[in-house]
Structure 1
Amino acid sequence: MRLRLLLRWLRPLLMELRYLLSAMGYFTRIPVPRWVGYEAYYLNASARYFPLVGALVGALGAVVYLGALRLWPANVAVLLSLAATLLVTGAFHEDGLADSVDAFGGAYTRDDTLRIMHDSRIGAFGALALLVVLGLKWQVLAALPPARAAWLMIGAHAASRMGAISYLLTLDYVRPEGRAKPVAQRLSWRAMAWAGSTGGLWLLWPDWRMGLVALLVLLLLRIGLGRYFVRRLGGYTGDCLGMAQQVFELAIYLVGLAWISS
């Protein structure tokens, strides 16, 4: 009887661990145990953990950055940090940014936009977007004090993913199929609240006022990008979420630098 009660108590915890590992396996190159398995609903249920996975990716970047600072100047340390996060995520969101900018910049109709977005090749618009976004991240983080830069990496990676998955609350997924299809089910407000607690709170330390400003900027960008996605596509795709994450992450870094410079 006691064993049965213990198993009944452990089963929900095991499922939550499975959802967390599913999120990690989806968004990173980190191998997950085979027992996790794969079911489409795992990915949708794991959406609440996407900001936490982002925080772990940001923590990796922060550790690499702080370690590299002992040997090299800040601009080199930031580049090594960016390289580490790109390696561990497989440039997942950066790919979405490039595909989205190529599509929005090179098409006029909805069908052409979706067709270009689906093309794996990177065009001039996408290449320039990657150059500008990665270059700005590099310069902004290198200009920040080391402790602030390291913490902001964690907060920005977490909060930007929180902002991106918030579109699952309000917008429709516009493709009949796609890699993001299992994730692209309506997110409950309860799950979003959980995601927010693991996403937005990272920005409130050590300076809660700067964190609130960053969250406000994130909200405004979220509204603006969401309206643009609806106007161009009628909803969102997985690439749109990748683009949103990159825009939100960069915006948080810019707010952090502007705050200490003002």
Structure 2
Amino acid sequence: MHGTPDNRAAGREGPVTGPLTDVARALRFYSRVPVPALPWEADPHALPDFARMARMLPVAGAILGAIGALVLAGASLAGLPPLVAAALAIGALAATTGALHEDGLADVADAFAGATTRARRLEIMKDSRVGAFGATALALSLILRVGALAALVEGAGVLGAATALCALSTLSRTATLVPLALADPARADGASASVGRLPRATLAQAGAIAAALALALALAGGLPLAGMLGACLATALAGWAITRWSVAKIGGQTGDVAGAAQQVAEIAAALALLIALAR
């Protein structure tokens, strides 16, 4: 996950091209979107400087959310019911990311709920098999996310739900940075250890960008600003709660924990937005 920045490329990057590079690398890292090499990139496949790239993760999250939003809008305009349209949109997001965060949620649920020692929990998190706790967590996550998105279509219209999905993607992917900034890696090896502890300044920058994007999307989609502010708060609390749980269970964080934080944060933010719409 972490490497030294490509100095040849960095030397030609400016205030515009630098952030664009970080967005492109975040999309390559967090999804299966085929992002072409940018003209000023010396090596698009070089390991990114994660602390730098992470600042632009909210923008990459909004782009990924737009993919789901387009599927949601297309399905709705085709006349499909909200529940079906929402299921297709969430499925498209999972396919776009290779179910990266869903896998993390399942591993964390199996490890934290199904084992009694730190060593066994870390062992389970490396196992590719999904147990009963993981399957249950995945089912609940899909039900809640699809149901919440369908309710947003009914309560805020297709445009409101589509912009909400982009905002939820922005906020929840920023939540993946919370464990990386607030806890040390739980293992001495692995992807999380290669990143190390993310600077809190990076988390603060990403959080500010995510909040600004979410509020702008709320305005564009006619969503209540109070509800989006609640979604921002719910995102932060979800990321913090998962981090504390992880520290208590394994003494730190892993990439799976970051994935679980995304899933829980997306659900928490969606519920906060729905509560605001219901008032």
Normalising by structure 1, report the TM-score: 0.89
Give SS of 2:190's match: coil
Shift of 1:113: 0.5
Q: Which amino acid aligns with 2:59?
A: L
Q: 2:13 matched to which residue of 1? A: 11
Q: 1:235 matched to which residue of 2? A: 252
In 1, Cα distance between the equivalents of 2:49 and 2:43? 9
Give SS of 1:69's match: helix
In 1, Cα distance between the equivalents of 2:90 and 2:126? 26
Q: 2:208 matched to which residue of 1? A: 197
In 2, Cα distance between the equivalents of 1:215 and 1:14? 28
Q: What are structure 1's unaligned runs of at least 5 residues? A: 1-6
Are the counterparts in 1 of residues 115 and 121 from structure 2 also a CA contact under 8 Å? yes
For 1:156-195, list aligned pairs within 5 A. 156-189=168-201, 191-195=202-206
1:23 aligns with 2:26: yes
Name the % identity.
36
Q: 2:3 matched to which residue of 1? A: none
In 2, Cα distance between the equivalents of 1:16 and 1:170? 24
In 2, Cα distance between the equivalents of 1:237 and 1:108? 18
Are the counterparts in 2 of residues 161 and 245 from structure 1 also a CA contact under 8 Å? yes
Structure 1 residues 20-69: Cα deviation after superposition (integer angstroms, max 9, x where no partner): 22211111101233554344453342111222111111111111101110
Give SS of 1:216's match: helix
Structure 1 residues 224-260: Cα deviation after superposition (integer angstroms, max 9, x where no partner): 2222111111110000000000000011111111211
In 2, Cα distance between the equivalents of 1:47 and 1:181? 16
Q: 1:116 aligns with which of 108, 120, 124?
A: 124
In 1, Cα distance between the equivalents of 2:174 and 2:230? 16
Shift of the 176–124 alpha-carbon distance from structure 1 to 2, 3 Å rule, reads: same
Are the counterparts in 2 of residues 51 and 158 from structure 1 also a CA contact under 8 Å? yes
Structure 1 residues 159-217: Cα deviation after superposition (integer angstroms, max 9, x where no partner): 1121220232221011222234444442251x333312331223322322112222222
List, as ranges, runs of 4+ consecutive aligned residues in structure 1 with deviation greater than 6 Å.
none
In 2, Cα distance between the equivalents of 1:32 and 1:18? 11
In 2, Cα distance between the equivalents of 1:193 and 1:54? 16
In 2, Cα distance between the equivalents of 1:33 and 1:215? 32
Are the counterparts in 2 of residues 22 and 42 from structure 1 also a CA contact under 8 Å? no
Shift of the 39–69 alpha-carbon distance from structure 1 to 2, 3 Å rule, reads: same
Shift of the 75–181 alpha-carbon distance from structure 1 to 2, 3 Å rule, reads: same
Q: Which amino acid aligns with 1:23?
A: A
Give SS of 1:121's match: coil
Q: 1:64 matched to which residue of 2? A: 71
Q: What are structure 2's unaligned runs of at least 5 residues? A: 1-8
Shift of the 165–98 alpha-carbon distance from structure 1 to 2, 3 Å rule, reads: same
Shift of the 51–182 alpha-carbon distance from structure 1 to 2, 3 Å rule, reads: farther
Structure 1 residues 132-160: Cα deviation after superposition (integer angstroms, max 9, x where no partner): 11011111111123222211111111111
Shift of the 239–147 alpha-carbon distance from structure 1 to 2, 3 Å rule, reads: same
Are the counterparts in 1 of residues 180 and 258 from structure 2 also a CA contact under 8 Å? no
Structure 1 residues 62-95: Cα deviation after superposition (integer angstroms, max 9, x where no partner): 1110111012111111111111111111011011
RMSD over aligned Cα atoms: 2.1
Q: Which amino acid aligns with 1:11?
A: E
Q: Which amino acid aligns with 2:24?
A: L
